[in-house]
Chains A and B, each alone.
Chain A
Amino acid sequence: MRRPASLCFVGGAVLVVLLATTTTRAERPTLRVGSKSFTESYILAEIVAQIIDDTGEARAERRLGLGGTGLAWGALASGAIDVYPEYTGTIAQAILKDPALTSVDAMRASLGAQGVIVGNPLGFDNTYALAVRRDDSTRLGLRTISDLVRHPELRAAFDSGFLERADGWPGLQRQYGLRFADVRTMEHALTYPALAAGRVDVIDVFSTDGQLARLDLVLLTDDRRLFPAYTAVLLARRELADRYPRTWEALQRRLGARIDNATMARLNALADLEHQSFAEAAGTFLGRTSAQASRHRAGELWKLTLEHLQLVAASLAAAVVLGLPLGILAARRRRLAQAELIGVGVIQTIPALALLTFMIPLFGIGQVPALVALSLYALLPIVRTTHAGIASLDPRLTEMTTVLGLRGWRRLAWIELPLASVTIMAGIKTAAVVTVGTATLAAFIGGGGYGTLIVTGLALNDVTTILAGAIPAAVMALVIHAAFEALDRVVVPRALRAAASASR
């Protein structure tokens, strides 16, 4: 019987992959630059990274596209990244949870206690605003939000977030007494074409959206100061300024008050509308020609494929190594089985982003926390099918093992695992295919893989880029499924395969 040998082989493969994932160290010290997963954050982080590289004290390592404030701030607070762009409104509300804080100096004091420094404002405000077409603005005399009160016949379309936030539509109604003939909810990216086509007359925008300049829209002044200030600043760990003073000085000098709203909107438009890479858009701001920037793309897919494969292989292997014994244990002890199945079931219900956020304090960001999270997700199908496969074996067959003197590992390796192998393999197959999909979320904590393209594509609202990540992921899922079908031939005993196909 080659069963135990093939298990050893799988185990060996696991170790190799795990060792291969350990990161290699570079000679020059690195500064890790983070960003959130929307265009503006990507571009600002790219600008920061390029300035770091230009200064030469350290090499910039990009950890871009972190999936939200919780993840980005968590990464900075835990030291997994050294610097990332943030907004004062977000700092007050989401990080310090004190909406009354408005001045940068007050934030400096609070964050300083946590070892985080706040750079000088970059010069623009990315806040909510209301936009109308220029012809309406001229025709109806719309300059401020207050001017809208006289035109309740207008139709509005708002992003679902804006529709519910206290500083969104409810705030507008309260503070300005606004009424519209029709208020509908619409995905943010779709409100621009709707406004341009005249289907609606007022939309909510971010004041640096790239679309504003192109569609010739007018932003209405927030004359009653409803929208909080979202002034862009850099958040960095104090060590950055202490150890790399020239770098920090360069960042302050070249970015402080240098990007106004129009500039930022133009840079966003370069990426969103003119399909430049974030690096190219950043290069434009820094006065570079875009020659060097397009070097990425070609080799990128192969690199992402390897990263993705590594994530799937390592996390699946870890899940098998952990899940098989757990499943076997559950099949042996009925009480434990309940607790175990509930446990792995609960893990499954944790939303991926939340689980990834929990991982940051423990494992930082990058591949390691992604691997841990993916392994945890892959546990449920493996534990469940191993338990079910063994516990549901014909009791006459399992009883006979005792009579024949088969105990311990022999009973397991000679009888139970081979008999349950069809079921167990089905669970591992499910876990593998699901993991290929889930692994795209690793990009949200800088874990790499195809998700990098998907997250970028979502930020750019660029379907091509999303598909560039989603299609290879789907292909990989198919390939992995086929590979496991082939592995069935090695792992599942011949007679059981025949029986399974006969009963189909």
Chain B
Amino acid sequence: MIALRHVTKRFGDRVALDDISLAVEPGRTHVLLGSSGSGKSTILRIVLGLVRPDAGDVSIETDGSTGSSAHQVGYVVQEGALYPHLTAARNVMLPARAAGWATERQAARLETLATLVELESDLLGRFPHQLSGGQQQRVSLMRALMLDPPILLLDEPLGALDPITRSSLQAQLARIFGELRKTVVLVTHDVREAFVFGSVITLLSHGRIVQQGTLADLAQRPADPFVSEFLNAQAPPPAMTRDLGR
């Protein structure tokens, strides 16, 4: 369970988050939807402790797991943030090395994760610049999952990928989240992606929560004209839908 209570954050004059209260239920995938600058990434960074809120408080409750924040939360960002001087395998094992795992345990976990994300094992010896964007993101996900944290935070994980890779990875991630039953918070600006992942969607605009609910709630009972506007802006033009329908 992640809970934000009345969280406010300013960067200089700009209000990034304005009195945000948000609860994320354990074991579900929660999507933070919004255009850039809406504050959705800042929420993740506050949960991670990378950014300190000006007001309000954040609590993370996970049953059983102790240790550093790396044991609690996994984090994947756009373009992966893999370390260019380390091979894929070394990137993935980094948090386990820091946590002092035995080599055999690291290797076993590495293999399990490679199977989970369907990454060919010969790719693990490569350096990030020798991998495609989709492969890099799968390695990045493996690294986030290395210590098996109960919470997974993803910030536009597929944002830099081409549409085909993006679509196939969306399906793969949705399957993985379903299998793992982790508490997932995924940040995206893409309505369709929100639909693929989100059982609960929180739509943000200018640092405020506009509406929270399922996609059906948002589409059929918009709390604000902005909700419809946002959803419609990303819907394919009617003509195209007709063509595809034939």
Contact A399 to B70, CB < 8 A, known contacts A495-B127, A495-B129, A496-B85: no
How big is the B interface, by class?
20 to 34
Question: Is A493 located at the chain interface by the 8 A CB criterion?
Answer: yes
Which B75-121 residues have a C-beta within 8 angstroms of A? 75, 77, 79, 81, 83-87, 94-95, 97-99
Of the listed residues B71, B84, B129, the one surrounded by the most CB atoms of chain A closer than 10 A to its CB is B84
Residues of A within 8 A of B73 (CB): 403
Instruction: Check: A214 CB closer than 8 A to any chain B CB.
Output: no
Flag B53-77 by CB within 8 Å of A: 1 or 0 each.
0000000000000001111010101
Residue contact B98 to A403, C-beta cutoff 8 Å: no
> A414 vs B86: C-alpha distance in the bound complex, in angstroms?
9
Which of A404, A418, A498 is the most central at the interface, judged by chain B CB atoms within 10 Å of its CB? A404
Interface pair B69/A405, CB less than 8 Å apart: yes
A404 engages B84 (CB within 8 Å): no
Known contacts A399-B50, A495-B127, A499-B129; decide if A404 and B85 are in contact (CB<8 Å): no
Chain B residues closer than 8 Å to A399, beta-carbon distance: 50, 81
Query: Nearest residue in B to A411 (C-beta to C-beta)?
Result: B98
**B84 with A419: CB separation less than 8 A:** yes
Residues of B within 8 A of A498 (CB): 127, 129
Contact B127 A396, beta carbon cutoff 8 Å? no
- Among B68, B73, B85, B143, find the residue whose CB has the most chain A CB atoms closer than 10 A: B85
State the CA gap A406–B79 with chains docked (Å). 20
* A111 contacts the other chain (CB 8 A): no
The answer on a CB contact under 8 Å between B127 and A404 is no
Closest chain B CB from A47 CB (angstroms): 63
Residues 376-404 of A contacting B (Cβ, < 8 Å): 394, 396-397, 399-400, 402-404
| Shortest CB distance B81–A (Å) | 5
Whether A405 lies near B98 (C-beta < 8 A) is yes
**Is A412 interfacial (CB-CB < 8 Å)?**
no
A400 to B86 alpha-carbon distance, docked (Å): 14
Provide the residues of chain B in CB contact with A418, threshold 8 Å: 85
- B95 contacts which of A405, A494, A499 (Cβ < 8 Å)? A405
Of residues 120 through 154 on chain A, the ones whose CB sits less than 8 Å from some CB of chain B are none
Q: Is the CB of A495 within 8 A of B85?
A: yes
Q: How far is the CA of A410 from the CA of B77 in the complex (A)?
A: 22
A397 to B49, CA, bound (A): 16
**B15 on the interface (CB 8 Å rule)?**
no
Interface flag for A259 (CB, 8 Å): no
The reply to whether B84 and A403 contact each other, CB–CB distance below 8 Å, is no
Q: Contacts A402-B50, A405-B98, A414-B94: A396 and B85 contacting too (C-beta < 8 A)?
A: no
A406 lies within 8 A of B94 (CB): yes
Given contacts A400-B75, A410-B98, A414-B94, contact A405 B85 (CB under 8 A): no
Cα A13 to Cα B125 in complex, Å, equals 34
Chain B residue nearest to A422 in the complex (CB): B85
Q: Which residues of A contact B79 (CB under 8 A)?
A: 396
With both beta carbons as reference points, the residue of chain A lying nearest to B79 in the complex is identified as A396
Indicate if A415 sits at the interface (CB-CB under 8 A).
Answer: yes
Instruction: Return chain A residues, CB-CB under 8 Å to B99.
Output: 405
Which B13-72 residues have C-beta < 8 A from chain A?
Answer: 48-50, 68-71
| Nearest CB in chain B to that of A404: its residue | B95
Q: Closest approach, in angstroms, between the C-beta of A268 and any C-beta of chain B?
A: 62
B85 and A493 contacting across the interface, CB-CB below 8 Å = yes
- Determine whether the beta carbon of B50 is less than 8 Å from that of A404: no
* A403-B48 in contact (CB<8A): yes
CB-CB under 8 A for A496 and B84, given A402-B50, A403-B50, A405-B98: yes
Picked from B68, B70, B84, B143, the residue with its CB within 8 Å of the CB of A499 is: B84
* Contact status of A404 and B129, CB under 8 A, knowing A415-B83, A418-B85: no
Name the contact of B94 in the complex, choosing from A404, A494, A499 (C-beta under 8 A). Answer: A404
Q: Which residue of A lies closest to B95 (CB)?
A: A404
B83 partner residues in chain A, CB cutoff 8 A: 397, 400, 415, 419
Q: Which residue of A has the minimal Cβ distance to B75?
A: A403
Chain A residue at smallest Cβ distance from B48: A403
A399 to B75, CA, bound (A): 11
Bound: A106/B71 CA distance, A: 84
Cβ 8 A contact of A400, one of B81, B87, B127: B81
* Least Cβ–Cβ distance between B99 and chain A, in angstroms: 6
- Residues of chain B lying within 8 A (CB to CB) of residue A404: 70, 94-95, 98, 143
Given pairs A400-B83, A402-B50, A414-B94, 15 additional interface contacts (CB within 8 A): A394-B81, A396-B79, A400-B77, A403-B50, A404-B94, A405-B99, A405-B147, A406-B98, A407-B98, A418-B85, A419-B84, A494-B127, A495-B86, A495-B87, A495-B128
Q: Which 3 A-B pairs have the closest CB atoms?
A: A405-B70, A493-B85, A495-B127
A: residues with CB less than 8 A from B are 394, 396-397, 399-400, 402-407, 410, 414-415, 418-419, 493-496, 498-499
Report which B residues bind A (CB closer than 8 A): 48-50, 68-71, 73, 75, 77, 79, 81, 83-87, 94-95, 97-99, 127-129, 143, 147
Can you list 9 A-B contacts with CB-CB less than 8 angstroms, sorted by A residue number? A399-B50, A402-B50, A404-B95, A404-B98, A405-B71, A405-B99, A407-B98, A414-B97, A419-B83
